[in-house]
Amino acid sequence: MGDFTLHGTAEMRGTVSASSYRLADHSGKDFWTMKFTVRDAGEVEIRREGDQLVLVDARPNAGWDLEEDDANDDEAELEDGEESEDADGEELEVTFVQGNHEVEFEAEIVDDRLLIEIEESWHGVEPGTFNVGEAGTVEIRRDGERLILAGVIANNGWDFEAEREVEENEDEESSEQEIEVTFTSGDHKVEFEATLEDGELEIEFKTKWYEDEESA
């Protein structure tokens, strides 16, 4: 799905890849198991049984911690060899954490297709030019307490939309500013968000795509 680089502050290394195999199922349900390598954070293995998704295993790499949440944001911990099934059978979420860096993997069945979303965020970073993988680049500047979108470049085959929002807090002494740039290419979407709140800048990437199950 491409690499993402935060110049001078952090780097998203590695890609998201998947391997899968289909199992015999005498009930007539769609039944397969798929394993995802999620950037440098770790691995997630899921299984589909008809309309249900089951979390088979989640393994963080060295230096990463693991949080698992089901579709209702209830915390769950996996013991060795234990399988966890989400509440409604349609969505699974796994979050890897390393200091101020989080990588969230989400799988969901939408219109009988497997939708994968990767959300990666850094807290307390510096403004700069951010390479949003294969989609393009975004330049963010800061003028005191004002967040500025200085420029956007979309790579060949990609389109983008940008917007800026300011939300005043109730005490009227502080505000939350957000700049969002959405890149699209076919059914592949990459969202870039920069948020300034209480003087701290947070950068977040979200990428979504439909995983091809034909090879599963």
The two three-digit tokens of residue 116, written as one number: 């994968």
Q: Which stretch of DSSP H or E encloses residue 185?
A: strand 175-185
- Could you give the CA distance from residue 118 to residue 53 in angstroms, rounded to a whole number? 17
What pLDDT, in 10s, does the model give residues 56-101? 999 999 999 998 454 334 333 444 444 444 434 468 999 999 998 8
Give CA angle at 210 (209, 215), nearest 5°.
130
Q: Residue 216's Cα: distance from chain center in Å?
A: 22
What pLDDT, in 10s, does the model give residues 99-117? 988 999 999 988 888 888 8
The two three-digit tokens of residue 161, written as one number: 């939309």
The two three-digit tokens of residue 53, written as one number: 């998704």
Residue 91: closest CA among 65, 115, 58: 115
The two three-digit tokens of residue 144, written as one number: 């005191």
- Mean pLDDT for the stretch of residues 134-149: 90
Predicted local distance difference test score (pLDDT) of residue 145: 82
Q: What is the 3-state secondary structure (H, E, C) of 90-118?
A: CEEEEEEEECCEEEEEEEEEECCEEEEEE
Question: Considering the chain, what percentage of its residues have pLDDT values greater than 90?
Answer: 35
Residue 163: closest CA among 147, 180, 150, 146: 180
Question: Considering the chain, what percentage of its residues have pLDDT values greater than 70?
Answer: 70
